[in-house]
Amino acid sequence: MKTNAPLPAHTWPEMQPGWVWLCGAGPGDPGLLTLHALNALRQADVVIYDALVQEAILDWAPQAEHIYAGKRGGKPSAKQRDISLRLVDLARAGKRVLRLKGGDPFVFGRGGEEAQTLVQHGVPIRIIPGISAGIGGLAYAGIPVTHRDVNQSVTFVTGHDQSGNTPGSLDWASISKGSQVIVIYMGMKHIAQIAGQLIAAGRSIHEPVAVVTTATTADQKVLETTLGTITDDIATAGLEPPAIICVGQSVLMRQVLDWQGQAAGHPPRNLDPLSRGRPAESA
């Protein structure tokens, strides 16, 4: 596929020297980039990118300097303050700066912190949303985060805070009771504790759970398990981050909506996984 093909006719914004555009690169598959993101890649002088940004995406900015600024739990990584101030320095040097972040920059991506630093230092910014892994990654696994027969709410939470521990500010009992479907980012390290808190708050040990690792890429893996067995099953499967974890009955929909498996020739496992007993098109 040509990556230098012209963009469709539109009034595309021009990246000016001294600006920083904070852009979501989506969950992994380069095809999930927005056209605004592609437009930004083609104009940038410098691309500062995170650990989850695919190399193929960087290939679409051959004219730019590529600077790695990934942060991965438990591994040496740049301090957030240093990343933010480097953006300021590059902008003040007259560079067209693209800050490329996995998923969406404002969904557990520290985009709000970086944008605030830039504004406080007088640097003009533009925000380009991206597809968050908690939605797009689950969709690639055949799991809809909302379904009329399952949930009227969905809660997105992070599995660790700035200290690397499970966020103490989260009221797991209220989350458990108030949301039919829970999507957990960065939760692998503390999944035993998180599962225990949800069970203690009343969620069934038999509740369906899915773990999707390296979502939307060729290395994607999906584990279907339950809240009571998830810790042991993750260890047995040898799964590693990055991962999205989904708790709730919507996980059952993968039995009928595993579109990647069906494309590979595997038939649906269950055409009525929610046991509706009526056609899907019926109200």
Catalytic residues: 50, 71, 186
State both tokens at 91: 């902008």
Per-residue 3-state assignment (H helix, E strand, C coil) for the chain: CCCCCCCCCCCCCCCCCCCEEEEECECCCHHHCCHHHHHHHHHCCEEEECCCCCHHHHCCCCCCEEEECCCCCCCCCCCHHHHHHHHHHHHHCCCCEEEEECECCCCCCCHHHHHHHHHHCCCCEEEECCCCHHHHHHHHCCCCCCCCCCCCCEEEEECCCCCCCCCCCCCHHHHHHHCCEEEEECCCCCHHHHHHHHHHCCCCCCCEEEEEECCCCCCCEEEEEECCCHHHHHHHHCCCCCEEEEECHHHHHHHHHCHHHHHCCCCCCCCCCCCCCCCCCCC
CA distance readout (Å), 106 to 2, 67, 127, 176: 30, 21, 9, 24
Backbone φ, ψ for residue 69 (5° rounding): -140, 40
